Chains A and B, each alone.
Chain A
């Protein structure tokens, strides 16, 4: 394994209190290196979404430890006060639906985060354009999201997740609405971007057609993860 991307150990999440309490995560261990793409698979109710929300600093775990790069961000409590800035600067998100902002064109959708952070518009758009070029959607740079195909929208969403060069990207069912060809193309792009930008990518999925593409897979069941080697065959 290369440099550290994200590492979690003994992560627990309990909803509610007393007799009605539900343990959604019962001690999850996971480690994803920078430049690596891993799959997170599990049936409904297994704790996938809860884990993703904890990793995304959207909800607070109950116990455990999370390390991002060399920084411990959670250890029985958040170690960082500004979780919004953490999400903006250190974590990229790709969703099942692209959720692009409908009133911004492709370039501004990608450049939005640095622009809102106060960086110069030109510089942000230049960086967005580079990413769009790398993802081969630069020819749709001025198009509105509603004019893009599903695959193009997802590539724009990936570019948006990469704009701040985060050490980790969380992809929640990114291929669900796509056909096999486009789904595999998205996974190929994620692998490519992970290597190019030294980003750890966790792909939550139960899309059977892309499972064989992962070299490592975390199965989650009843709030616990089990690691196993994947085939990783699509890109060998």
Chain B
């Protein structure tokens, strides 16, 4: 049977293609928004994957170290290493800040780790250039997304670091690139005061008679010494021995070390369910609005196209064309417009996604769901036009 919709589209292909391109750009934005959300989730999972940990040991009653701040003594890992099922444990600090690079700065998550080989908790899993940190101080490994180069000198707080290695896909849950530095430097950076503040703090300590006691030699010096170091880390990352279940290893640490322990599943829930939940709802709202706008545009276009053919529709009805045939013509045109729009949108999203500053993950599953949504929207949008067409009186074709 002849396809009236196909013939109409072929006849006025320019109008359909240009309308489809306009709609396609809107669909491209919609697919990109979904990709932004997927990218955020993927960043969160990448953060957990890249930490190389099975368990996260953090301060009690906190959701640290990513969703809330957490302080754990930096010698706590020794006791944790002795717990049943623990293979390896390593201190780690996380500090999101502006890392200076000449006159400019880069938003980055600075990670303090204990030097170790690949597979150690907290270490970057692999390098794409350079080497790992070998010196005890002032060396850094940076994610390539930071834009740093090998040998480049960067400033974290008042210290200068040399970039000795580059890694890839090591990002925070916000998508900020990671910069790995030695743990001691990171601890210092996290709590380091400026010289004036240190002088003021020492003056206050000296003037405090409860601390500066006559007859207790060495007390004041010990106090000042303790104030100038930071014995805390944000978390201890734990790898468990083969054959042990994460929950079974976590429970004794919670009980005996009085610390909070999260398994991978729990941490993923915190990151995806809490940390990016608001952003996800925000994007969800955008998706809903974009879907409504797309539907309105398709409905308006198809309705206008149909009104332009009222006389032809009246003639078709008069000469005996079924209502179903006319409805199918309009429906097929709406779907055709949607298909053109989807193809344009998918291509556009694929091309512009890499340009976005944050990771945009276009999943094939989202594309399939998006296509189904476009078809459904087009079908619903054509209802108005179909109703208008079916209301056309065949008598309109006859004058008088």
Contacts and interface: CB of A to CB of B under 8 A. Distances in A.
Interface of A: 48-50, 52-53, 56, 58-59, 84-89, 93, 95-96, 99, 101-104, 108, 112-113, 115-116, 118, 121, 144, 160, 172-173
Contact of B7 (A103, A118, A172): A103
A112 B326 CA distance: 13
Nearest to A88: B320
Interface of B: 1-2, 4, 7-8, 10-12, 311-312, 315-322, 325, 393-395, 397-400
B2 A121 contact: yes
Contacts of A173: 399
B12 A103 contact: yes
A58 B397 CA distance: 10
Among B311, B315, B316, the one with the most A-chain Cβ atoms within 10 Å of its Cβ is B315
A84 B319 CA distance: 8
B316 A93 contact: no
Contacts of B394: 58, 87
A116 B321 contact: yes
Contacts of B316: 101
Contacts of A52: 398, 400
B10 A95 contact: no
A76 to B, nearest CB: 21
B24 to A, nearest CB: 23
A69 B398 CA distance: 23
25 contacts: A48-B400, A49-B400, A50-B400, A53-B395, A56-B398, A58-B395, A58-B398, A84-B320, A87-B319, A88-B319, A93-B319, A93-B398, A95-B397, A95-B398, A99-B397, A104-B2, A104-B4, A108-B7, A113-B319, A113-B320, A115-B2, A116-B2, A116-B321, A118-B1, A121-B2
Top 9 A-B pairs ranked by shortest CB distance?
Answer: A49-B400, A88-B320, A103-B11, A103-B8, A99-B315, A87-B320, A58-B395, A115-B2, A103-B7
B14 to A, nearest CB: 13
Contacts, number: 81
B320 A89 contact: yes
Interface of B is mostly: helix
Contacts of B315: 93, 95, 99, 101
A104 B395 CA distance: 22
B324 to A, nearest CB: 10
A102 B318 contact: no
Contacts of A59: 395
A225 to B, nearest CB: 16
Given A53-B395, A59-B395, A116-B322, A99 B312 contact: yes
Nearest to B395: A58
Given A108-B2, A113-B319, A96 B399 contact: yes
A89 B325 CA distance: 17
B312 to A, nearest CB: 6
A56 B325 contact: no
A103 B2 CA distance: 12
